[in-house]
């Protein structure tokens, strides 16, 4: 089974001593649980985003075609800083997406701080991953609706699909905006399958968020009450298309 983890972290969190994830630990977890490739990003509360981006790039160099980076930079630093670092990450490091986190970045997706990230994403053609779930109202999936309408050419990923409690709110967002997709970390099998049935497998992707969640997510996706075609779409066909992974060296059989 080809499985692309579309949302996993490395780095040290300023907010939690337990969130300290090294690249080797990430790879060991992927190997143990059969995760083919990972879209890797810094923890949003990391102290130095530049050095963390560089660490992800070094990991990608060690595992070409398997590790792909995502930009995560505080919009509080200003438009110029976000643009400069994103340009470096895309053009020099080959990163494939950008992250916005309402709680750590100080505003909802409908705020000017959201615009700071989304305007840069639009310029560089990057999908935007946005935390949803804890942190409501800023982190409600439906808070992505204004941004998705304002930036119709940008694909937004509602990370965690509202994290179980707001799964129906995620469905509302996905129902009115075709450019809002979802990932599965911390959402139950029942809700994950329900969102796939409601919106289509091409709108849901697998993610773990943290290595401690690898076993849960992989077991969930193996047993999820969906068709094998839907499983393959969510686990690898959709991520390959969205992040343009084939042209970036991802070539396992069947992808």
pLDDT at 253: 57
Q: Say what angle helices 189-199 and 214-223 make with each other, to 10 degrees.
A: 50
pLDDT at 88: 99
Under the banding of pLDDT at 50, 70 and 90, the label for residue 15 is low
Rounded Cα distance, 34 and 44, in Å: 26
Is the pLDDT at 206 greater than 80? The verdict is: yes
pLDDT at 14: 60
pLDDT tens, position by position, 102-146:
887 778 999 999 999 999 999 999 999 999 999 999 999 999 999
Alpha helices in the chain (DSSP H): 23-33, 49-62, 79-91, 102-105, 112-124, 145-150, 167-176, 189-199, 214-223, 228-232, 238-242
Is the pLDDT at 198 greater than 80? The verdict is: yes
Is the pLDDT at 170 greater than 50? The verdict is: yes
pLDDT tens, position by position, 59-117:
999 999 999 999 999 898 899 999 999 999 999 999 999 999 988 777 899 999 999 99
| CB-based burial label for 137 (10 Å; 0-12, 13-18, 19+) | exposed
Q: 3-state DSSP call for residue 108?
A: coil
CATH no. for 4-248: 3.20.20.140
Kindly report the pTM of this predicted structure: 0.95
Asked whether 37 and 208 are in contact (CB, 8 A), the reply is no
pLDDT at 13: 63
Rounded Cα distance, 89 and 96, in Å: 9
pLDDT at 3: 98
């Amino acid at each position: 089974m080809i499985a692309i983890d579309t949302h996993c972290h490395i780095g040290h969190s300023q907010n939690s001593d337990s969130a300290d994830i090294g690249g080797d630990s990430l790879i060991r977890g992927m190997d143990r649980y059969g995760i083919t490739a990972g879209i890797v990003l810094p923890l949003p509360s990391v102290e130095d985003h530049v050095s963390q981006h560089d660490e992800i790039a070094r990991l990608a160099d060690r595992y070409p075609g398997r590790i792909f980076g995502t930009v995560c930079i505080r919009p509080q630093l200003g438009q110029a800083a976000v643009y400069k670092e994103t340009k470096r990450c895309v053009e020099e490091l080959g990163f494939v997406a950008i992250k916005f986190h309402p709680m750590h970045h100080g505003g909802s997706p409908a705020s000017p701080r959201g615009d700071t990230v989304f305007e840069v994403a639009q310029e560089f053609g990057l999908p935007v991953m946005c935390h949803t779930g804890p942190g409501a109202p800023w982190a409600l999936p439906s808070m992505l609706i204004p941004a998705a309408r304002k930036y119709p050419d940008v694909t937004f990923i509602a990370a965690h699909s509202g994290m179980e409690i707001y799964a129906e709110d995620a469905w509302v967002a996905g129902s009115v905006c075709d450019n809002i997709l979802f990932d599965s970390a911390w959402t139950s099998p029942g809700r994950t399958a329900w969102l796939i049935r409601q919106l289509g497998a091409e709108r849901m992707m697998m993610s773990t968020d943290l290595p401690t969640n690898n076993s849960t997510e992989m077991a969930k996706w193996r047993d999820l009450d969906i068709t094998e075609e839907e499983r393959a779409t969510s686990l690898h066909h959709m991520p390959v298309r969205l992040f343009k992974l084939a042209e970036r060296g991802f070539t396992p059989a069947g992808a």
